[in-house]
Structure 1
Amino acid sequence: MSLIKHCLFITLTFYCIISYGQQEGVIDNEMLSLRLLERINQAKSDSDRGKYHNALENLDEALSIALKIEDQSNLGKIYTKISKIQFLVGEKDKADVSIKKAMQIQRDIDDYGNLAIAYNIKGVMHSTQNEYEDALEYFNSAKGLFEQENLEEYTSDVLLNEAKIYIQQNRLEEAKFNLEKTIILAKKYNQLNRLSAALIYSAKVYLALGNTKIALSQVEEGLEIAQDNNIIQDKNEAYLTLSDIHEKNEDYKNSHLYIKKHIHLSDSILNVTRENLDIEASGESINNYKEAQNAQLKAQIDEVSAESAFIRITTILSIALITILSLLTLSLYKNNNIRLNTNTMLHKKNDELILAKEKAELASKTKANFLSTVTHELRTPLYAVTGLTNMLLDEDPKPHQLSHLKSLKFSGDYLLTFINDILQINKIEANKVEVDPEHFNLRNKLENVISALSNSANNQDTKIHFEYENGIPETFIGDQLKISQILINLLGNAIKFTKDGDIWVRTYKIDKKDNIYYLRFEIEDNGIGITKEKQNHMFESFSQGSVQINRKYGGTGLGLSIVKGLIQILKGKIYLKSELGKGTTFFFEIPLEYDKNVDKTEVVEVIKANKMESLDLSNVKILIVEDNKINQMITKKILNKMNLNCDVVDNGEDAVEIVKTTNYDIVLMDIHMPGISGLEATKMIRAFDKKITIFALTAVTLEDKMHEFGDAGFDDIISKPFKQDDFEDKLHAALTGEKIVSSFFS
C-alpha cells in the first residue's frame, strides 16, 4: 500500500512539474529567442574574422534552438548562412544540401526576400564551378524577387556577381552596364565593400576595352576604399589589376611592384585561411568539451548514489515514468519522421514543378522586358517619322508630294497601332488590365461607333443597320472604353471583309438578375466568310483567314485576340458563326449594371474643345530635355506652333543646372540619356524644387516600371509618339493649376 502511495505522489509531482513548465514556456521561448540571435551574431563575427569552424558551431546551436521553438523564418536564414560557410570551407555537397533546405523553407513561408538571398548564393555556387548559365538563371530570379519585395539595396550584390560572369564570358558591355548600376546603388546605400569591388572590376573591364586611363582612375578609387575599410580581398584584387594596367602602359617597374604586393598579400590570406581551417584544433576542442560533459555526468551519478533509500526508490519510479513517456515520445518522433520523409518525397516530386513555375515566371518577365525594350526602340524613331510627316503635311506640300506623305503617315500610324496592339496583348496576358466602370449611355455609344466607321463602310459601298431591342435601358454602369474597343474591332473587321453588302449591329437582352442585365451584341455581315478550319483559330494572336487575305486586306491579326481578352476581363463570352462566301456573325455577351437612379438624359457625351486657345501663353516657359536632335526639333516645333516658348538641353546634368537659375513652368524630360538619366535628374530637381511641373516625355512602355516615375517625382508621363489632344490636355492642366490625374500612377 505504501508503494502505491509513493507512486501516486510521484505522478502528481510529475504533473505539477509539467503544469509549471507550461506556464514558464513563454519565458523560456523568449530566452531561447535571445540565445538564438546571440548565436547568429556570434557566428557572423566569427565568419567575418575567418573563424569558419567556430561560426559553424554557433550556427549549429542556433539551428537547434530554431527547431525547438519552431522559428521557421530564422531556420531558413540559418540554413542559408550554414550553406555559405560550408561552401567557403570546401564542403560543396553539404553546402548544396543546406541551401536547398533554406530555399524550401522560404518558399513554404513566402519569405521572398530571404529566398532571393538564397538564390544569389546558389548562383555564386554555380558560378565558381563555371556553370554560368545556371548561375545567371538564379541571379535573374534573385533580382526579380528583390524587385518584387522593394529591396533595391540588395540587388547591387547580384549585379556584381553577374558582372563577374560576363567578364569571364568576355561580354564586356554587359559587364560594364551591370557594374555602373552596382556603383550607383552601392553609393546610394553606402555599401563600401560592394563599391570597392565594383570599381576594381569596372577597371578590369575598361582595361580589356583598351581605356587604361579610366581603368587606372577606377582601380585607385576602389583600392582607397578597400584600404580605408580593411577589405583584404578587394585590396588584393586591386594590386593584381594595377599590375596589369601598368604592364599595359609598359610601366614594368610599377607592374612588378604591384604583383609583388599581390603575391605577398595572397600568401598572408592563405596562411590565415589555413590557421582557421585547422580541423585537428577544432577536433581537440570538441573532445575537451565531451570530456567535460562526461565528468559532469559522472558527478551527477555519484551524487544520486549517495541519496537515501527513499530517494533512490523515488528516482527509480521517476525514471520509469520518464522512460514510458520517452518511449511514447520516441514513437511520436518516428511517426513524425515517417511524415517528414513522406513530405520530403513529395517536395522532391514538386521540385521540378516549382522550378518549372519559376522558369515560367522568369520567362514571362523576360518577355515583358523584351517587349518594353523593343517597343521603346521602335517608338523613338517612330516619334521622328510621325512628327516630321505631320509637320510636312501642315506646311502646304506640293501636289505630287501629297500622296507620298499620306502613304508615309499611313505607314507610321499602322506601325504605331501594331506596337500598341502587341503591348495590349502583353498586358492582357499578364493580367495587368483593370476594369474602369462609369455611367454611360450604351445606345449613344453604339451609334457613335457606327457613325465613326460609317465613312469606311461607305467606301466599301456597304450599309450598316442598327437594332436596339425595345425595353432595354440605355444608361448602364460599365467600362465604356473597353466596350468601344471591342465594337470598333468587330465592326471594323466586318467592314473590311464586306464589299457591296450589308452589316447588322444588334443589341438585346438574354437575361436579367436584380439590377444586372445580361446583354448580347451581334455584328453580322454578308461578306467573304471564314472557312471551318480557320474558325477555331480566329481568336489566336497573329491569326488571319489566310496569307492571301492578310496580303489583300491587311491587319496585324491581333484584333480578335484583344477582343477576346477584353471580353473575358468584362466577365463575358464571345462566339463566332460563319460560312465561306455567305458572311460572318460575331456574338458577344457581357453583364452590365443598370442604375435606375440615373436618368438617360444625365449621361451626355463631352465634346472636347481646344482648351489652349483660351490661355495667355506669352510668358509661359518650357524646358525640353532631350538628347536626340531630331526629337528636339520636332517637340520644339510642336510647342512653337502652340505659341509656347521653350529652351532645349540635351542631358540631365545641364537640365538640373538650368532649372536652378531659370524659372520654368514645365519641364519635358526624356528618360534615356547619356550621363545621368531623366529619373536621376528629376530626383535632383525635386531636392530643391517641389512645385515645378515635370512630365516624362518618353517611349518607355513597361507599366511594371511606372512606379519608378512616380517615386522620382514626375507629375505625369507623355508617351512618344503622343496624341496631340492628350498632350494639350496635360499642358492645360499644368498651366491652369488643375489637378493632374495620371492613369500611369493610379
Structure 2
Amino acid sequence: MIVDTLHRSRAIILLIWMTLICPQLSYGQQVDSTSQKVDSLGRGLAYYFDEARKLKNQNKLDLAIKSIEKAAEVAETNDDVKALIDSYNKFAILYLELGKDQDRALFFLDRSKTLLKDVEYPYGNAIYRYVDALVLFKNEKSFQALLMLEQAKQLNNDRNFFNKILLVEGDIYTSLEKYDVASKNYNSLIVNTDIYEKDYLATRAYLGLAALHFRTEEYDVSASNAEEALKLAKANNFFKEIYEANVQLTESYGKLGSFDLALERNMELLRIKDSIFTIEKIKTETKTAEKIQFEFMEGQIKQQDEKIEELTESENRSEVAVILTSAFLIIISLLAVSLYRNNQIKLKTNDLLQTKNNELQAARDAAVNAMDAKTNFLSTVSHELRTPLYAVTGLTHLLLEENPSENQKEHLKALKFSGDYLLNFINDILQINKIDADKLEPLNIDFNLKRTLQEVIDSLQQSASANNTKIKLEYDEEIPSHLMSDPIKLSQVFMNLVGNALKFTKDGEVRVIAKLLKKEEEDVTLYFEVSDTGIGISEEKQQSIFEGFEQGSIQINREYGGTGLGLTIVKSLLGLFDSRIQLQSELGKGSTFFFELHLKSKDSLVDDIPFEITEQDFDFKGLHLMIVEDNKINQVITKKMLTKKDITCDIANNGMEAVELAKANKYDAILMDIHMPGISGEEATIQIREFDKETPIIALTAISLDDSLESFYAAGCNDVVTKPFKPEVFYQKIGENIFNKTVKDSAS
C-alpha cells in the first residue's frame, strides 16, 4: 500500500516538476480551429485570436500577450487540445517577434510538438513547421527553412497561411540573393486578397521590395517602395513597419543624394523611437510576461493546496505526508525559478537599454552627416551663384554710368534691384548655414555700443525716409562706454530687427531702446528692445515667425517681399551669445522684439575721441594695377570699372601668371581672386610676399562658407572685398590701401 502510494507520489512530483522548470503555459494566440466555446464575458477563441493578430501587427506585443493568455484559458477550460496546439504555435511566433527570448519560443514550440504526437491535426502540424522555419531562418539556416516551409504548404492550403509563407520565402530568397524569385513573391502579395491581413502583408511586401532594390543599387525604386510601405503602415498604425520604412528611406535618399529628404526621414526616426521602441514599452512587455509566469505558478500552488486538502480527509496519512513534502519542495523550486527568471529579465533589460542607446547614437550620427552634406551643398551653390551675380551687378553699374536713356535707366535700375535682392538672399542663406555648421564664433573685443547702434540707424535712414517713418534711439547713458563682445554680429542683429520693423511700418515710428539692468564689477546685463507701429503679427503666427522663410502669410510676402530669413538669423546669432529673442505683437498696432545680453565692461579704458568714417575722394589717375581673375567676363567687368577711374591694369589668368607678372613688373596694387584652378589666390599671395612685402594685395573673391578671412590676412592680403560688391566700396578699398598706406609710410 505504502509502496504504491510512494510510486503515485513520485509520479505526481515528476509531472509537476517537469511543468515548472519552464515558464507558464497559459498563453495562446489566434487558433484556426472552429471551436465556438466562450469565456465568462461571452467571448470565444476567435475573438481573442483575431484581437491578438491585430495587436501584433501594430507592435503592441504586451497587449497581444494578454489576449493570447485569455484565449489559452478558454482552450484549457474546455479541454480544446487543437486550440491549445495553435496557442503554443502562435505564442512561439509572438516570442520570436519580441526578438530577445528565443528560448521561450522554442519551449512553446516543443510543447506544441508534444501534443501533436497524440492528436491528428494537419493544420497544427503545418503551423508548427512554419514556426520552425522562422527559427531556422533566424539562425541563418536558410535552405533548411525553405524545406520546412515546403512541408508546411503540403499540409494546409489556407489562404492567409499560404500568404504568410510567401512573405517568409521572399525574405529568405532575398538573403540568398535570388532576387527574381523574391520579387515574384513580394509582387504577388502587394495585390493579395487576404481577408485577415491584406494591408499588413502588402506593407511587408513593399518593405521587402525596398530592401531588395537597395541591395541591387536601384535606390530610386527602393525609395518608391518604401514610401508605399510607409503610407500603408501609417494608415493602419503598423508601428514597427513605420519605423522600418523610415530607416529604409533614410538610407535610399542618402544614396540618391537627396539629403533634405534623408534628413527629414532621419528626424522622423528620432521622433518615433521614443514613442514605439521606448524603454517603457520594453519594461511593459517584460512585466507582462513576468506577471503571467507568476500567475501560472500561483495556479499550480493552488492546485496543490486543493490536492492536499482532499488527501487530508483521507485515511492514508502517509500519502498526505508525501504530498506535503512535495508541495514544500515545489514552493522552494518555484522561488528558485522566480529568482533566476528575475535575474535573467534584468540582464535582458540592460541589453535592450544598451541597444537603444546604440540605435540613438547611430541615428544622431546619420542626422549629423546629412546636415553636413546639406551645408556643404549650400556652401558650394552660394559660392557658384556669386560669380555670375558679380557679372550682373558689375555690368549694370557700368551701363548706368554710360548715360543710358530714361527707358533704359528704368530697366537697369530694376535689374540692379533684382541683383541686390538675390545677393541679400544668398548672404542670408550663407549666414544661417555658417551658424548651423558651427563655423561662427562671437569675437570678444572692445567696442562702443552707442556708436554701433547709431551706425546701424544711420545706415537705415534712407529706408525709413522712403516709408515716411522715424527711427528713435533711446540710450541709457549709464551703460559703460567700453564693452567686450562682437560688435559685428550685434550690428547684424540690429540691422535685421530695425530693417524688419521699417519694412512693415509706414508713416509711423521705430524705437530702439538700450537699458542697463544690472552691473556688478565688470559684469553687465543689458536690455534691448526694437518696437514699431507697423502692421503687427497675428497670435497664431508668433510661434513660427522665427523659423526660416516665415513672413506671417503669403499676402504679406507678396506685398512686402523679402525671404523671411531675417528673424531666423537674429535668433541664431543671439544663440551664440546665450540669449533668446522674445516678441509681443498685436495686429494693426505694431510689434516689439526684446532680449537681454550679458557682457563684460572695461571701466579702466578711456574713451576714444569720437570719430566718423567719411568716404574719401581719391585721385586714381595714373595708377597701374594687376587683376588676377580666371573668369573672362569678370576680367572685362573689373577692367572697365578701373578704366572708369583712369586706372590701367594687367590681367593674370591664374595664380602662376600672377606670381610671374609680380616678379617682372611694379604695381600700385594687386586685386587677387582666391578661388582659381591651379594654385589658389592664397598660395599665390604667399609666393608674392616672399619677394614683395610692400605692394597692397586686395582679395577680390566670392567668399563661401568654408572661407576664413583670417586665412586671407595670414597669407599676406591687406584687405578683402567680396564679390559681388558695391562699386563705391570697391573704389574706397583701393584708395585706402594705396594712398593711406603711402601717407603712413611717408610719416614713418
TM-score normalised by L of structure 1: 0.48
Tell which structure's C-alpha radius of gyration is larger. Answer: 2
TM-score by length of 2: 0.48
